[in-house]
Structure 1
């Protein structure tokens, strides 16, 4: 009897946890829908259908399988979405892939993003209007193998903590306003991953403290103009004292 009671209790607990998880995933999507501006109506999701797997058929939503409502992936790219990254993402507990690229999202990358999505494997926030620093807390996304933050307005340095993401296979911060030295462990990524940040230096870009071709051109031009100015000034002084005065 005791064994049956324990088994029944465990089954009831598992069912309760699953129910809560499903309810949270629905609330996650509702929060996204309510907090992001969607001019083209691409997120016109309806939650009236409460049958199993119903939310898995919504635009941009992928579930673990067709027999439950647990979300594994959100692909909301190129939808003209604007606003900030929604806090309701913390309710998508099982999310492993988030693609919000090619939109008009603004604001900063939330410091708690990895607490919201502790199991995220792929994160693509490229081609938006995100600003501010890359939070060092990104290291808490321990399972990341893809982190794409290119073509935003991110500033500051690349946190050393990013180099501690051991599983990272694909990485890009190109086309931002980042500065400082690239963490040495990120030198394994190609130059294209860092292009478009005028203040960045270190491998695989040029060495820190070394002048770029543009800088050298400016220095040469300034030297030539300075020399010409000196010649002209010297000629005027010579003319004044040795020609005009004698006359």
Structure 2
């Protein structure tokens, strides 16, 4: 039996209510806080000359208030869980902000028809693992298409048209078995179109990229010729044609059928059978 002086602390410990469980990382209130961090980062990371993000004041963020922000949709109106960022035509400027990684529950990212620049982050699919619709078209994005976009395994629509993207189309994009809409037109892409993508999507998906080849834009890919090589081929063709014409002309003269091809008579007024000399200095 414990000493009397320990009985009171033990009794108080037994009668105390159980402690409230702590939310696990990534659940409960934490995701809502992450989504607010995402939107704050998007607003601060992009220039907004038209003031289209003015409603994002973050004065009242309780009860899903951010769901009423311009361009933002939530899973439900009672909590600040962002499902869609649709900011098309907002006139936004700058690079894709890394704060998008805090909108992990979002399924739609539409930043089309803005003035975004820089490269597409290779980690974009790690930031938005559940994205279904990704539209970055009609911006000023440069650099290659990241092969890591194949990690967006739920992707249904991918639109990157109207940028300044360069390099080859990653073959890894063919792994996107849910992809129904693809638009890579109007860029600076080159090389062969991955076979499976060429078979699944129409010519319009790849148009406006003069360096692309293969189905469906052309029958096959060749090595192609640079400017110097093309010049050599043209020059060789012209030289060959000129040489052929010159050879034909001399043959015509030497057969005695031209105006200057009459045979001269030899001494004694008879024709010289084998020693006749052409007026054109040909010996026939």
Give the whole-Å Cα distance in 2 for the aligned partners of 1:143 and 1:207. 31
Offset, 1:165: 0.5
Q: 1:134 aligns with which of 142, 145, 150?
A: 145
Query: Relative CO higher for 1 or 2, CA cutoff 8 Å, sep ≥ 6?
Result: 1
Match of 2:267 in 1: none
Instruction: Sort the Cα spacing of 1:37 and 1:191 in 2 relative to 1 into closer, same or farther, 3 A.
Output: same
Query: Aligned-pair distance for 1:14?
Result: 6.2
| Aligned match of 2:46 | 36
1:226 to 198, 222, 238: 238
Please name the residue that 2:87 is paired with.
76
The separation in 1 between residues aligned to 2:108 and 2:37, in whole angstroms, is: 18
Q: Tell me the matched-pair count.
A: 230
Q: Name the TM-score, length of structure 2 as normaliser.
A: 0.72
Structure 2 residue aligned with 1:206, among 185, 210, 218? 218
SS of residue matched to 2:23: helix
Distance in structure 2 (CA, Å) of the matches to 1:166 and 1:77: 26
Name 2:8's counterpart in structure 1.
Answer: none
Match of 1:215 in 2: none
- The equivalent residue for 2:204 is 192
- Write the distance in 1 (CA, Å) between the matches of 2:61 and 2:160: 35
Report how far residue 93 of structure 1 moved. 1.3
Quick one: which of 70, 87, 90 aligns to 1:59?
70
Tell whether the 8 Å contact from 2:214 to 2:221 is kept in structure 1 after alignment: no
Q: Could you say if the C-alpha distance between residues 5 and 166 of structure 1 is closer, same or farther in structure 2, counting changes exceeding 3 Å?
A: farther
- 2:35 corresponds in structure 1 to 25
* Counterpart-to-counterpart distance in 2, 1:25 and 1:173: 30
CA shift in 2, pair 1:16/1:199, >3 Å: closer
Report the alpha carbon displacement of residue 207 of structure 1 after superposing the two structures with TM: 2.3
Correspondences of 1:109-148 after superposition (within 5 Å): 109-148=120-159
- Whichever structure has more helix as a proportion of its residues is 1
**Aligned 1:86-125 pairs, distance under 5 A:** 86-125=97-136
TM-score under structure 1 length normalisation: 0.82
Displacement after TM superposition at 1:17 (Å): 2.5
Counterpart-to-counterpart distance in 1, 2:120 and 2:74 = 25
Q: Report Cα offsets for 1:94-115 as digits up to 9, x if no partner.
A: 0110000001101000011111
Residue 43 of structure 1 and its aligned partner are, at CA, apart by: 1.0
What stretches of structure 2 of length at least 5 have no aligned partner?
1-13, 225-229, 251-278
Task: Name the CA distance, whole Å, in 2 between partners of 1:16 and 1:206.
Answer: 49
Alignment gaps of 5+ in structure 1: 213-217
RMSD: 3.3
SS in 2 for 1:179: strand
> Which entry has the higher C-alpha Rg, 1 or 2?
2
